[in-house]
């Protein structure tokens, strides 16, 4: 998430009431999660296990809960609770604005696009040309939809990320300040849910087709010309490269990559990154031929027992 104007380190520190290490005028251009940070971004870290990863990331401002040596060319924001203060910054720079109409006045809708009854379109949404949005679709703020997109009834674009910190008092939610981007020629079935990014974009790339009742988590990137069948669940921060096929009820864990052209057969469970151009089956997913051999062996063991 980039700020509308470049901020200073001192200004950011004053917003969250934190101390800082570095030049007071050090430029701060935005804030992002660690997997998408760029120079000029703030990243937060609140566990020693991830200190080095955050300090050595592309981010040039690190929001951290311990005084450490500041890497050259970077700055620190020292806070007793980086998770809380990251939320403060999201709310400050991207506050929630309640809707006042079913289709926001700030929404932009392209020529020949059809919006069926009972559709909700939030603030600053952009929808391209020749789209068809069926009844009861909900499109949250800041979503970007390309040309020739079809979205079927009951689908939700831009719901919050499922991202919580477990505290003694209960689960503390990380505020979602990102959006959803749907590129050209994408079809999305009925009753799908695509969560917004925490600070960046959950992206469905050109030509991908999604069946009914599919869940796609925050900050996930679905490549070009993918096919995703019904009842698949894809966790956050995952990358599907181009032309990946997921058949029904495939489950994919967070933070992994599925290579170009991989095919996951029905009910496969993907627990780690896998290479492209291969057909997979089973849980944990492995090459289909290996899976079938294992099934034959198991049947023989049972038969001979």
pLDDT tens-place string over residues 202-253: 999 999 999 999 999 999 999 999 999 999 999 999 999 999 999 999 999 9
DSSP state for residue 174 in the 8-state scheme: P
**CATH class of the structural domain 2-93:** alpha beta
| pLDDT score recorded for residue 24 | 97
User: What's the whole-number mean pLDDT along residues 259-282?
Assistant: 97
| pLDDT score recorded for residue 294 | 84
% of the chain at pLDDT higher than 90:
94
Residue 303 has pLDDT above 80, yes or no: no
| pLDDT score recorded for residue 297 | 79
Residue 82 has pLDDT above 90, yes or no: yes
In which band, very low, low, confident or very high, does the pLDDT at 301 lie, cut at 50, 70 and 90? confident
The CATH number, out of the four listed (2.160.10.10, 2.40.50.840, 2.40.30.40, 3.40.50.300), of the domain defined by the range 108-290? 2.160.10.10
Q: What is the mean pLDDT of the chain?
A: 96
Greater model confidence, 88 or 295: 88
Residue 304 has pLDDT above 80, yes or no: no
Separation between Cα atoms, residue 298 and residue 302, nearest integer Å: 6
> For residue 62, what are the contacts with CB-CB under 8 A and spacing of at least 6?
42, 43, 44, 45, 54, 55, 74, 75, 76, 77
| pLDDT score recorded for residue 291 | 83
Residue 194 has pLDDT above 90, yes or no: yes
| pLDDT score recorded for residue 26 | 97
In which band, very low, low, confident or very high, does the pLDDT at 74 lie, cut at 50, 70 and 90? very high
φ and ψ at 92, to 5 degrees?
A: -70, -45
| pLDDT score recorded for residue 293 | 82
Give per-residue pLDDT as tens, 7-33. Answer: 999 999 999 999 999 999 999 999 999
User: What's the whole-number mean pLDDT along residues 68-83?
Assistant: 96
Cα dist. 36→28, 32, 40, 82, 98 in Å? 16, 6, 12, 18, 28
In which band, very low, low, confident or very high, does the pLDDT at 300 lie, cut at 50, 70 and 90? confident
Are 168 and 151 in contact by the 8 Å Cβ rule? The answer is: no
Q: Within 10 Å of residue 41's Cβ, how many Cβ atoms?
A: 24
Separation between Cα atoms, residue 70 and residue 85, nearest integer Å: 19
Structural domain spans, the chain: 2-93, 108-290
| pLDDT score recorded for residue 101 | 97
218 an active-site residue? yes
Beta bridge partners of 281: 286
The catalytically annotated residue of 35, 47, 152, 218 is 218
| pLDDT score recorded for residue 132 | 98
Separation between Cα atoms, residue 183 and residue 185, nearest integer Å: 7
In terms of Cα–Cα distance, which of 282, 210, 212 is closest to 251?
282
| pLDDT score recorded for residue 115 | 98
| pLDDT score recorded for residue 289 | 83
Beta bridge partners of 7: 28
User: What's the whole-number mean pLDDT along residues 97-112?
Assistant: 97
The residue count for the chain: 305
């Amino acid at each position: 998430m980039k700020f509308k104007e470049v901020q200073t380190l001192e200004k950011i520190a004053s917003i969250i009431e934190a101390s800082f290490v570095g030049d007071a005028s050090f430029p701060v251009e935005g804030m992002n999660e660690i997997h998408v940070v760029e120079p000029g971004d703030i990243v937060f870290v609140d566990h020693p296990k991830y200190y080095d990863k955050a300090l050595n990331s592309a981010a040039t401002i690190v929001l951290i809960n311990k005084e450490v040596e500041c890497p050259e060319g970077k700055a620190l924001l020292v806070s007793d609770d980086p998770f809380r203060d990251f939320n403060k910054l999201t709310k400050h720079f991207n506050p929630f604005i309640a809707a006042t109409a079913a289709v926001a006045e700030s929404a932009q809708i392209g020529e020949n696009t059809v919006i069926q009854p009972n559709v909700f379109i939030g603030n600053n949404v952009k929808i391209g040309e020749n789209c068809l949005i069926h009844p009861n679709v909900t499109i949250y703020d800041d979503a970007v939809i390309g040309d020739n997109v079809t979205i079927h009834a009951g689908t939700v674009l831009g719901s919050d990320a499922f991202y919580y910190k477990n505290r003694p008092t209960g689960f503390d939610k990380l505020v979602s300040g990102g959006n959803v981007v749907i590129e050209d020629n994408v079809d999305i079935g009925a009753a799908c849910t695509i969560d917004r990014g925490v600070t960046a974009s959950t992206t469905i790339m050109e030509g991908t087709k999604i069946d009914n009742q599919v869940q796609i988590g925050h900050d996930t990137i679905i490549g070009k010309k993918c096919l995703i069948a019904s009842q698949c669940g894809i966790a956050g921060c995952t990358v599907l490269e181009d032309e990946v096929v997921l058949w029904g009820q495939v489950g994919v864990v967070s933070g992994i990559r599925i290579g170009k052209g991989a095919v996951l057969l029905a009910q496969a469970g993907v627990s780690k990154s896998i290479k492209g151009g291969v057909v997979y089956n089973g849980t944990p997913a492995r090459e289909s031929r290996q899976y079938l051999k294992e099934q034959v062996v198991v049947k023989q063991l049972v038969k001979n027992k």
